[in-house]
Amino acid sequence: MITLRLERRHPLPLWQQAILPLLSVLAALGLCALLVLWAGADLLRAYAALFAGALGSRFAILETFVKTAPLTLTGLAVALAFRAKFWNIGAEGQLYAGATAATWFGLTFTETPAWLLLPMLLVGSFLAGGLWALVPGLLKARLKVDDVVTTLLMNYIMLYLVSALVDGPWREPVSQWPQSPDIVEAAQLPILLERSRFHLGIPLAFVSAGLVWLLLARTPLGYAIKAVGVNPRAAEFGGIRTTRVVAVTALLSGGLAGLAGAGELAGIQFHLMEAISPGYGYSGIVVAMLGGLHPLGVVLAAFFFGVVNNGAQHMSRVTGVPTYLVEVMQGVTLLAMLAALLLNEYRLRWARR
């Protein structure tokens, strides 16, 4: 009988580790090919349409960046949290918290000039998302309540809150649709490039990636976060206040997701509604893992999914492949990345027994 065995090995050199996400993406594209073929489409034509739809024109590229920005922020949120082993599956709810806060700022401060209102709005969204994550964070740190379930449940709670808001006190008075009125113009993130939706939030997302990198690589807090994530008992032994570190991590993580919400609200939609996020919070998990929990990797992975998300419509129009292929691709990529990460620790050995 031929068996496949995993044999321990020395960790791969850094450059080889960087290939692993690429392998995962290729594996995902390969597995999803089965679905594409089932749809009766020509494989190369479908994938070509996917990429062309995302990168084939100036507008397309800028739209890809529009999609990349929230993915970057939620990816950073999840990556930072996962580094501390805080399993933040609640980025979606934190995003909505940020969007809700941004809406409040944008509806309340009607007389404030933009140079003051925008920073207030961004800080407020950051805090809203941060606080939404702090609750499960503290529950985990102090009471050992499982963070996966609590962050997930908080998503649903936030969603229902938004639903109640846009159904009730914030309902658009003229059209009576379940969405908020538009925020004032001073609260809207300025468009930076004409004939596109490329707004100020997009470069801010990339700056955030840089800041997160700085935090993790060069600050004492970043060191503490890494230590707590690697071995909380040893961190505690060393005198690190793990409860505090987890709480701060939760705050920062939720804050980043909150900024994603602010970006979508104040940069793209301008009014709050239940469908303001097509699942960016959950996609952030895949982005974070694909990026190896590293801020630079997150940016690249976010860009990849930005491409895929943006190009799906075009692919669907040209070849008839349902856009839901993207959802499947997310799941497959995540699983493939997990399997690929194994190669960093184990070698595959065929053996005849």
Partner 1 sequence: MTGSPVVRMRGIRKRFLDVVANDGIDFDLHPGEVCALLGENGAGKTTLMNILFGLLPPDAGTLEVWGEPVAFRSPREAIARGIGMVHQHFTLVPPHTVLENIVVGTPSRGPWLDAASARARLQALARLHGLDVDPDAPVWQLSVGEQQRVEIVKALYRGARILILDEPTAVLTPPEARGLFKALRSLAGEGRAVVFISHKLREVMEVTDRVVVLRGGRVVAIRQTAATDPQELARLMVGREVHTPARRPRPGAGPPVLEVEELAVDNDRGLTALERVSFAVHAGEIFGLAGVSGNGQGELAEAIFGLRRARRGRIRVGGAELTNRPAGEVVARRVARVPEDRIGVGLLMELSLAENLILEAYRDPRFRRGPFLLSSAVAGFADRLLADYRVRAPHRAVPAKTLSGGNLQKLLLARALAREPVLLVAHQPTRGLDVAATEEVHARLLELRERGVAVLLISEDLDEVLALSDRIGVLYEGRLMGVVPAEAARVEELGLMMAGVGGPEGPRA
Partner 2 sequence: MELLSVAFFVGLLAATLRMATPLLFATMGELLTERAGVLNLGIEGTMLLGAMAGYLVTYKTGSLWLGLLGALLTGALLGLLMAFMAVTLGVSQHVSGLGITLLATGLSLYIYRMVIGAPSVPPSIRPFQILAIPALAQLPVIGPILFQQYLLVWVALALVPSTSLLLFRTSLGLKIRTVGENPKAAEVAGVSVYGIRYLCLMVGGALMALGGAFLSTAHFNMFLFGMVAGRGWISIALVVFGNWRPGKCLAGALFFGGLDALQLRLQAVGFQAVPYQFFLVLPYILTIVALVSVSRRAAYPGSLLLPYKRGEA
* Residue 226 binding: pick among partner 2, partner 1, none (C-beta 5-8 Å cut-off by kind): partner 1
Of 240, 211, 235, 262, which is closest to residue 79 (Cα–Cα)? 211
Between 7 and 26, how does the x/- string for binding to partner 1 read (CB under 8 A)? -xxxx---------------
- Strand ranges (E), the chain: 2-8, 346-352
Q: Which does 329 bind (CB under 5 to 8 A by kind): partner 1, partner 2, none?
A: partner 2
What number of chain residues touch partner 1 (CB under 8 A)? 24
Contact 251, 136 (CB under 8 A): no
Shortest distance (Å) from residue 139 CB to partner 2: 6
Which of 37, 338 has the CB closer to partner 1? Answer: 338
Q: How far is the CB of 68 from partner 2 (least distance, A)?
A: 19
Which 218-237 positions form the footprint of partner 1 (CB under 8 A)? 218-220, 222-224, 226-227, 230-231, 233-237
**Which one, 26 or 342, has the nearer CB to partner 2?**
342
Question: Nearest 10 degrees: CA dihedral of 68, 284, 280, 39?
Answer: 80
- CB atoms < 10 A from the CB of 171, how many? 15
Q: Which of the listed partners (partner 1, partner 2, none) does 236 bind, with a CB threshold of 5 to 8 Å by partner kind?
A: partner 1
Binding mask 1-30 for partner 2 (x = CB under 8 A): -----x------------------------
Q: How many residues bind partner 2 (CB under 8 A)?
A: 45
Q: Per CB under 8 A, which region of 4-12, 188-196, 201-209, 274-282 contacts partner 1?
A: 4-12
Contacts of 100 (CB under 8 A, 6+ apart): 128, 158, 161, 162, 165, 261, 272
User: From CA 347, how far away is CA 353, in angstroms rounded?
Assistant: 18
Task: Give the nearer residue to partner 1 in terms of CB position, either 228 or 262.
Answer: 228
Task: List binders of partner 2 among 140-199 (CB under 8 A).
Answer: 143-146, 148-150, 152-154, 156-157, 160-161, 163-164, 167-168
Q: How far is the CB of 85 from partner 1 (least distance, A)?
A: 11
Q: Which string of x and - marks every residue 27-56 that binds partner 2 (by CB under 8 A)?
A: --------x--xx-----------------
Contact between 251 and 130 under an 8 Å Cβ cutoff? The reply is yes
343 binds partner 2 (CB under 8 A): no
Q: Which two tokens stand for residue 94?
A: 């934190």
Q: What angle in degrees, to the nearest 10, is found between the helix axes of 280-290 and 58-83?
A: 80
Residue 190 CA to residue 168 CA, distance in Å, equals 29
Token pair 């450059």: residue: 15
Cα–Cα distance for residue pair 71/54, rounded to 1 Å = 15
- Angstrom distances, CA of residue 317 to CA of 92, 141, 156, 227, 308: 28, 48, 33, 49, 14
Burial 36-61 (b: 16+ CB within 10 A, else e): beeeebebeebbbbbbbbbeeeeebb
Comparing CB distances to partner 1, the nearer of 8 and 144 is 8
Q: Which residues in this chain contact partner 1 in the complex, by CB under 8 A?
A: 8-11, 218-220, 222-224, 226-227, 230-231, 233-241, 353
Q: Which residues in this chain contact partner 2 in the complex, by CB under 8 A?
A: 6, 35, 38-39, 87, 89, 139, 143-146, 148-150, 152-154, 156-157, 160-161, 163-164, 167-168, 282, 285-286, 289, 322, 324-332, 334-335, 338-339, 341-342
